[in-house]
Chains A and B, each alone.
Chain A
Amino acid sequence: MKKETRNALKKWEFRLAPVYFLAPAFTLFSIFVLWPILRSFWISFHDWSGFGAMTWVGLSNYTKLFQDPKFAISIANNVRWLILSLMAPIAGLTLALFLNQEIRGIRLAKSLFFFPFVINLVVVGLIFSWFYNPDLGLLAALGEKMGIEPIPILANDQLATYGIILASLWPQTAYCMILFLTGLTSLDTQVIEAARIDGAAGWNMLFRVVIPQLSGAAFIAAVVTIIGALRSFDLIAIMTAGGPWGSTNVLAYMMYDESLFNFKMGYGASIAVILFLSMSLIIALFLYSVLRKEK
């Protein structure tokens, strides 16, 4: 090959590089993530059983949704999840502060504390269902010793959601703990020592000096926890399947139930759209914080 042709080819390779380097990732991502989002919006304006033709119904799926009592229950539960799941960053920070010491075996202790995050939620759900079981659970066994009648938590429409949220806090706290532990190891020691010389200690030190330096970890912990809370599905499917009497439904579970069991794809899609839009706010916040650093 002549030198000029080779150079020309190389120049082309360089110019086309972004295209072919991105092609496999972008193609797959577009087909299975980006396009389905748009398609769900489109489906939400239709009546569709999943088979055959779709019928355009405009916004009527949405008007129906806003009158559906199940939707109100789901939204209320999503709010409960959202608020209560923020216990995870707080508990995670507490655990991280507790474990940020140098004694023998502390590394192993830290990994063991992190352990629940690695276990899949099916197993977590099974464990907690068993815990709560009024006939053979630990809770009932403990209650019996103290003379308390066992409460069937997951069969109680007032308590079931709280029981599931508690289960979700276990792995989520472990995750937040790791984020804060990493944050604590990268604290600016000079600032801490200087504050200590100035007489700062305990709570004062924690809130004025330490927590401000952990804001990065706290932001990620909060964002990931909130997104996790809005996405919550697995534990509900395993522990209660939305019951008793639909009382543990959240948007994610209601959508699945309406689409795959009632064959109301258009209706299901409209629930998905509402869920997507509410999550977009928090996704946008995260994007903003990441992209700001790019400039």
Chain B
Amino acid sequence: MFPTPIKHRSPALQILYKMAVPLVLILWLLPMAAILLTSARGNADIISGNYWGWPSEIKLFENYGEVFNPERSPMLLYFRNSLIITIPSVVMAVFFSAMAGYALAIHRFRGRILLYALFIAGNFVPFQILMIPVRSMFANLDLLDTLWALVLFHTAFQIGFATFFLRNFIVDLPYALVESARMEGATEWGVFIRVILPLLRPALASLGVLLFTFVWNDFFWALTLVQSDAARPITFGLQALRGQWSISWNLIAAGSVVAALPSVIVFFVLQKQFIAGLSFGGVKE
């Protein structure tokens, strides 16, 4: 193990280390703590400029109530839009990519390396090279400024990374299982549904969590494909509300917490899968 395990060091150093970890952590998360604290501040603090001290009054429920009150702010609508965009695109991207990954990992056909390379490369291209054609395509289909545009685009774009991810996972599965299912008369679709998909479960969970945060946190495509409140996801909505709330930093803070929360929850609940997913594409080998 490197560095040397702390329990082999002098007691003084051990105590120092145990104090240093939370201290560094507090500094590291200071921005987050400030946002959380400010989302509970009352207007008095905001006016008197008390941004960094302890709140003089706790207005947690009032602030979040204001943010979620549909008559006062469209935040609830934005939140709903984000869910409607994120969940179907993650489900579709994962399923289509599992299919594609199966073909790329199990079947040997000409051009499969090229296809695999295209999926990997596509995942890294700058969004700007896609922006103008994608926008005009949706404009021609009359889908600009709808939730459909974002669902379709995110599904398509995430397929690149997802196929790369799942194909690598399927390659490592024991091939004998596929062969024995074939011997028993299963069709390829049958092999995929009954043998591969169940074995993929941990990979699907990891991938699903990752894609959820990628899509939920998207800002660029929301900005370029959507204009009206009816189709705005929360990232873009928050940016828009910032103008309306102006210096009510307690509301902006509460809105930020709401916007960040779903991916944070998904991360903390499915931490193991999330980190396994992040490390899989990369450090494996």
Chain A residues close to B by CB (< 8 Å): 10, 13-14, 17-18, 21-22, 24-26, 28-29, 31-37, 39-40, 43, 50, 97-103, 106, 109, 111-116, 118-124, 126-128, 130-131, 136-138, 141, 170, 175, 178-179, 182-184, 186-187, 189, 192, 201, 205-206, 209-210, 216-217, 220, 224, 227, 230-231, 233-234, 237-238, 251-252, 255-256, 259-260, 265, 268-269, 271-273, 275-276, 279, 282-283, 286-287, 290-291, 293-294
A186 (CB) vs chain B CBs: closest residue: B283
Q: Is the CB of B128 within 8 A of A256?
A: yes
Q: Is the CB of B103 within 8 A of A22?
A: yes
Q: Is the CB of A136 within 8 A of B282?
A: no
Which 8 A/B pairs are nearest by Cβ-Cβ distance?
Answer: A120-B217, A32-B156, A220-B282, A25-B100, A36-B133, A21-B103, A39-B133, A28-B156
Stretch from B27-35, B66-74, B198-206 that touches the partner: B27-35
Question: How far, in Å, is B162 (CB) from chain A's closest CB?
Answer: 8
Question: How far, in Å, is B138 (CB) from chain A's closest CB?
Answer: 10
Q: Is the CB of B117 within 8 A of A291?
A: yes
Contacts of A124 in B (CB 8 A): 31
A-B contact pairs, 11 of them (CB 8 A): A13-B188, A18-B112, A22-B100, A24-B96, A25-B163, A109-B25, A116-B28, A120-B263, A128-B31, A220-B282, A259-B131
Q: Which of B1, B5, B132 contacts A43 (CB 8 A)?
A: B132
| Complex: A205 Cα to B1 Cα, angstroms | 11
Q: Is B43 an interface residue (CB 8 A)?
A: no
Contacts of A294 in B (CB 8 A): 113
Q: Is the CB of B21 within 8 A of A35?
A: no
Contacts of B21 in A (CB 8 A): 98-99, 103, 106, 109
| Complex: A106 Cα to B18 Cα, angstroms | 10
Q: Is the CB of B100 within 8 A of A123?
A: no
Q: Is B160 an interface residue (CB 8 A)?
A: yes
Contact with A along B188-216 (1 / 0, CB 8 A): 11001000000000000000000001001
With contacts A97-B3, A120-B263 taken as known, whether A35 is within 8 angstroms of B133 at the C-beta atoms is yes
With contacts A21-B99, A122-B235, A294-B113 taken as known, whether A131 is within 8 angstroms of B28 at the C-beta atoms is no
With contacts A98-B24, A265-B132, A287-B117 taken as known, whether A126 is within 8 angstroms of B238 at the C-beta atoms is yes
Tally of B interface residues using CB under 8 Å: 98
* B interface secondary structure, majority: helix
* A interface secondary structure, majority: helix
Q: Which of B25, B99, B125, B242 contacts A25 (CB 8 A)?
A: B99
With contacts A50-B136, A112-B29, A291-B113 taken as known, whether A100 is within 8 angstroms of B2 at the C-beta atoms is yes
Question: How far, in Å, is B70 (CB) from chain A's closest CB?
Answer: 21
Q: Is B239 an interface residue (CB 8 A)?
A: yes
Contacts of B282 in A (CB 8 A): 179, 216-217, 220, 224
Q: Is the CB of A118 within 8 A of B264?
A: yes
Q: Is the CB of B279 within 8 A of A178?
A: yes
Q: Is the CB of B126 within 8 A of A276?
A: yes
| Complex: A118 Cα to B4 Cα, angstroms | 30
| Complex: A103 Cα to B282 Cα, angstroms | 27
| Complex: A66 Cα to B131 Cα, angstroms | 22
Q: Is the CB of A286 within 8 A of B224?
A: no
Contact with A along B229-247 (1 / 0, CB 8 A): 0000001101100100001
Contacts of B213 in A (CB 8 A): 118
Interface residues of B in 48-101 (CB under 8 A from A): 49, 51-52, 96-97, 99-100
Q: Which of B6, B263, B271, B279 contacts A179 (CB 8 A)?
A: B279
Contacts of B223 in A (CB 8 A): 237, 256
Q: Is the CB of B238 within 8 A of A216?
A: no
Question: How far, in Å, is B163 (CB) from chain A's closest CB?
Answer: 6
Residue from B113, B125, B259 whose CB has the most chain A CB atoms within 10 Å: B125
Q: Is the CB of B127 within 8 A of A276?
A: no
Q: Is the CB of A21 within 8 A of B156?
A: no
Q: Is the CB of A233 within 8 A of B127?
A: yes
Q: Is the CB of B100 within 8 A of A206?
A: no
Residue from A22, A26, A39, A112 whose CB has the most chain B CB atoms within 10 Å: A22
| Complex: A103 Cα to B22 Cα, angstroms | 12
| Complex: A282 Cα to B3 Cα, angstroms | 32
Contacts of A33 in B (CB 8 A): 122, 125, 130, 156-157, 160
Q: Which of A189, A205, A269, A275 contacts B126 (CB 8 A)?
A: A275
